[in-house]
Structures are given as C-alpha cells and as structure tokens.
Amino acid sequence: MIERLIEILNKEDDKHPLALHEPCFDGSEYQYIKQCIDSECVSSIGSFVTRFEHKLSTITKAKYVIATINGTAALHTCLLVAGVEPNHEVLTSPLSFIATSNAISYCGAIPHFVDVDNHLNIDPQRLQDYLSAECHFQDDYCINKQTKRVIKALVVTHVFGHPANMDELLELCERYNIELVEDAAQALGSTYKGKPVGHFGVAGAISFNGNKVITTGGGGALLTNSKRIADKAKHLTTTGKVSHPWRYRHDCIAYNYRMPNLNAALGLAQLAHFPTILQQKRKLAEYYIEHFADIADACILKEPRFAHSNYWLNSVILEDGLAELRDHILETLASKHILCRPAWDLHHTLAIYEQCPRANLSNAENLFPRIVSLPSSANLMIKLQAANKERANEDSNHC
C-alpha cells in the first residue's frame, strides 16, 4: 500500500510536502476581505455575516443559520437549545473529534458512548439493542437504569463527511424521546437521501476551521428549521442582549459566540466557489477509489449507499490484523512528506472521559487502529492532473 500511495500521489520526488487538508482559495477572497476592511465593520456587526448566513441557508436548505466563532461553539449552542442540562447524559460516538464530547461537557452533561458501524458512524441497530436493554421510561424521560440519569440527547457525527443513517437514528430518538443533534462539522455539502445534513434533528453544527471543506479562518454555524430554536440560539450566541437601540440589558448568562464580519467575508468568498471545491473533492475520492481497487491490504472508506458524501477526508481501513502496520505506514509516508493521519483517539480511552458510561464499543475499538486518513485537499486533484500531464509530456519528448 505504501509504494502504491507514493506512486499515485507522484511522490517519487522528495519535494513539496503534501498536506492532509489545505484550504482552497481562488483569489476572490482578497476582494471580499478588502471590502470588509474598507467598510470598517470587521467585528460583530456588519453585512457579511448575514449574507454568509443566507448563502449557507440556500446551500444547506436549513431555514435558519446562525454563524458562530467556531464549530465547537455552534455545537455547544445546539446542545443548549436542545435542552441539555447539568447531569443529563448525551449519547455520542467515541470516534469523533474531541469537540463533540467537550461540547457535551460544557453543558455540565455527561457523554455516554455508543458503538459505530462499519462506516464509522453511530450504528442504529446496536443503539436500539442497547437502549432497550439499558434504559427505561419514567415521566416521559429516557432514564439510564444504571446511573438513573436522564438521557436527553444524541449527538451524531458524520465522520469524515460520510452521512450517518439518519432515518433509523431519528426513529429511535422519537421512540425514546431523545433530542437529535448533528455534529455536521465535517459534512458541509454532504446529503442523506438527497437532503443536506445538519438539520434532521433539533439543530446541527458545521465548522469552518482551516482544515474543513471551506474555511473562514475559524468559524462555525448552527442550522435549524425551527424559528423558536433559531431565536434562542441567536440570543445565546450574542451575550443574551435584549434588543434595544442603546441600552445594554442581558436577560441570561450567555455567550459571545457571534462570528466576526471579517471571517464571514472570507466565508462568503469561499462559498462562491464551493461547488467547484466539492467537485474537485469528489474527483479526488474517485481517483483514490480507482487506484486502491486492486490493493489487497486496505480499502478506501466509501460513502454509504443512501448518501452523497463531500469526501472531506479520504480514509483507508487496513485489513483486519494489520493494525500494527498503521504507525509504520504513517512514519514512512511522513518521511516522504505525505502527511497522513490516524483517526482521533477514542474518547473513552482518554483520562478525561474514561469514567463516562458506555456501551460495548468493540467495533469502534476494532476499527480505530486500522484507520489512515489520506491527503484530501480540494486542489490536490488539480496538482495531480498537472503532474500527470507534465510526465506525459516528458515521456513524449523522449521518443
């Protein structure tokens, strides 16, 4: 697999490190940022934020979008508007970026880990078996029999941009009176049965960090279809200030989570060429899938049959039994300046979350050590095409 990857990424040379995921700028970003600076509104007030929110609403088909300072803040707000309170438990996957569990902790709630399927997302079947064995209903609340705490919500991460099985998860949440929140941080542009992810449940979060499909430097957004939830989220992310022309009155302890105008200007420029970015990412995924087809010891993680993925991070799963090869692969590729990554350490194996309640996590534990994420920048396909062309030209010059 190592030789093959070096070959298909044209990395016989040792120059030009290949990043895991770089932002993709087309030059229009300068104009938007200049306009924003010229307007003198670079901070929490200005038109770029509302324009960015409108554009995002068109792209994601979410009725309401609230832009935030980062994806973690958006997720924290999602959980607050879902009614998560101290000592509630929130079901989630141990296989996600740490922000998922941290956002739950910020609410004073406790992450409760459940297992994943072979697409690395929460497995509805395992979840159903677990809930029917470990929980019971009391006053319309789903209660963890062991800890006696209320299980208030489920956070579903669409891992690497591949959508989770939403119909089945939604059905379960309805049956157990659990709020569904999506951590769609990695999944802007991904669809489940034709519908963009991020607003299947009460609310969902997206991230625009530098390594995501588009970036605002740092930034995030909360998506929802409910006006009541949107109003609450807007209030919570803007310090709980009561609307008034000059007075500073705040009716709750809230947060300063509003996305600055300058970041939104960058985001608006990025959204203008987002369709091209998505296309390039899909082409790269197809390139990897095609070239990995005949590799015996690893397979590319493909989008589930019910979904269209943005292929945020192309990843391979090493064959069963090859887990001890992972670090050797990562080291060898790094020495060739190909920057690959393992998945995030499973949350229940971290000291900060090892005490949390959890289901049997055997599938997550089995898959985690075999995951390698590959360079996935949108502009990588363009670079590869250029390099292939150059090589073809050289070959024809030789004859």
In this chain, which of 92, 96, 121, 224 binds ligand PLP, going by CB under 6 A? 96
Q: Which of residues 103-162 bind ligand PLP (CB under 6 A)?
A: 157
- Give CA separation, 163 vs 89, 152, 188, 194, 376, in Å: 23, 22, 10, 11, 18
Q: Under 8 Å CB-to-CB from 262, ≥6 apart: which residues? A: 33, 36, 37, 42, 43, 48
Indicate whether 264 belongs to the interface with ligand PLP (CB under 6 A): no
Residue pair 286/277 in contact (Cβ under 8 Å)? The answer is no
Indicate whether 186 belongs to the interface with ligand PLP (CB under 6 A): yes
Token pair for 377? 């920048």
- Give CA separation, 131 vs 48, 176, 237, in Å: 44, 8, 33
- How many angstroms separate the CA atoms of 32 and 137, rounded? 53
In this chain, which of 198, 220, 260, 375 binds ligand PLP, going by CB under 6 A? 220
CB closer to ligand PLP out of 102 and 332 = 102
In this chain, which of 36, 82, 155, 185 binds ligand PLP, going by CB under 6 A? 185
Indicate whether 307 belongs to the interface with ligand PLP (CB under 6 A): no
CB closer to ligand PLP out of 5 and 185 = 185
In this chain, which of 5, 18, 24, 71 binds ligand PLP, going by CB under 6 A? 71
Selected range binding ligand PLP among 125-133, 181-189, 256-264, 315-323, rule: CB under 6 A: 181-189
- Give CA separation, 227 vs 55, 184, 233, 237, 258, in Å: 18, 20, 10, 15, 18
Indicate whether 270 belongs to the interface with ligand PLP (CB under 6 A): no
In this chain, which of 65, 80, 95, 99 binds ligand PLP, going by CB under 6 A? 99
- Give CA separation, 399 vs 10, 388, 392, 393, 396, in Å: 22, 17, 11, 10, 6
Listed residue (141, 157, 32) closest to 89, CA to CA:
141
Indicate whether 376 belongs to the interface with ligand PLP (CB under 6 A): no
Residue pair 263/246 in contact (Cβ under 8 Å)? The answer is no
Indicate whether 267 belongs to the interface with ligand PLP (CB under 6 A): no
CB 321, min distance to ligand PLP, A? 28
DSSP H or E segment with residue 326: helix 326-335
CB 4, min distance to ligand PLP, A? 28
Residue recorded with tokens 């992450």 = 111
Length of the chain: 399
In this chain, which of 32, 46, 70, 151 binds ligand PLP, going by CB under 6 A? 70
Indicate whether 314 belongs to the interface with ligand PLP (CB under 6 A): no
Indicate whether 209 belongs to the interface with ligand PLP (CB under 6 A): yes
CB closer to ligand PLP out of 71 and 189 = 71
Contact residues for ligand PLP, defined by CB under 6 A: 70-72, 75, 96-97, 99-100, 157, 183, 185-186, 207, 209, 220
